[in-house]
Chain A
Amino acid sequence: MSTRRGVGLGAFTNRNATAQSYAAHGSNLKSANAASLQAQLEVFQSLLHNFALEHAATIKSNPTFRAEFARMCNAIGVDPLAGSNIKGKKADSLWAKVLGHDVNDFYFSVAVRVVELCQATRAENGGLIGLKECCESVAKGKAIGGGLQVSEDDIERAVKSLEPLGSGFVILTIANKRFIRSVPKEFNTDQSTVLEVLQLLGSVTVSLLQVNLGWERARAETAVQDLLADSLVWVDYQCPEPEYWSPQGLLDESD
């Protein structure tokens, strides 16, 4: 009995000591790794800073250059837009730190214009806008001053910057063309198919869908009527059979 108790106490003491040793060692490893990582990040930021300073004017004025710079940041896991416009905090984004607030404000200005445009045109296009059309319209807007060019990539980045707000704005692709969808309602398979055909042909009829897709009349009719009800197509009755048209491209009149 006394022998067993002694062994127990001894084992306990040994385990404790061992655990402490392991913890200390692990802590040392973490510190060493963290220090190394921090050093690497600092080197990276320093190099990025120098690069950005050297090419600041180009980044501001050239959409392609700006996009490539952003891609480089993203490849390394740095979000150029994160940390901006947080009230009461000085957590400037990488963009803001490196280039001042010009480029950062640029993206938020673009985002505001996109939101305004989507709201203003929702009744005519059902909340679906081509990225190209959106880009052209935003570029014409007065909110973006200084003659800055706006590219589709800029629009896409601006839309993604809205995600933290739960905006419901998403980028989707239809027939190899990029769109902004600002209405939180998904398309079913048939609707998507009709939208794809519309991108290729501009307009469709029920007969055309029956012949080319092998659909029954009721199925084709349902698909186009659903799109019509959601303002995603307009209808022309002044022809042998009603023609359903995509309203993309009417944006020039909303300004």
Chain B
Amino acid sequence: MSDRSNSKPETGAFFARNRAWHPPAFAPGYKTSVLRSPQRALLSLDGTISEITGPVFGHSILNELDNDLIHNFAKPGESAIGERIIVHGRVLDERGRPVPGVLLEFWQANAGGRYRHKKETYLAAIDPNFGGCGRAISDDEGRYAFRTIRPGAYPWPNGVNDWRPAHIHFSVFGHGFAQRLITQMYFEGDPMIWKCPIVGTIPDKQAIEQLIAPLDWGNTIPMDARAYKFDIVLRGRRSTLFENRLEGN
């Protein structure tokens, strides 16, 4: 699956996940979590080779427009309606090192807050030229970028009057399956962020702020698209200083 082989892969186990920094499974303000959260404690175990390894995807899976949501579902010569933006950033690990060659997948609603999904019934119109999915692979410095339109806020049946802030969903692979992460990116200055029960599942304000992408004026392209920067941090891994070899005896 991989077409990258320019550096020796690391095989240390990952740092233990700080689960106080992540949202807890049971977060009653987000009602669906009540029946979908385990009640027993998780079984903790230092990572084995089953978690230290993970799938790696080559560029052969990518099409030219995979990182251009403005055009990848549009009819020829047309484009999605909405605020044109570029989202870019780096994938790093907790040691601050770039994580190259990893697949990122994105999905989102259109400019009016409407998802293209058969279970979605919000009144806002579908955009015939917007699908809402994209993907990219991080480069050797961990960088990724894609073009899209800024998604709208959208209402959801949790409380009587709950609305999600504008957000883009991210799925990120690392080099080990233990790094697997799904999260959501929010936009700087959106007052809805602080009213949202899903955002509110995260206990620490600083952790929430880690999900808010700042406007990146420097990378904004005049007369074309504004830019937002969203860096993603995956679990770091130990150096194998004094470790038993995974190969065993």
Q: Do A and B come from one complex?
A: no
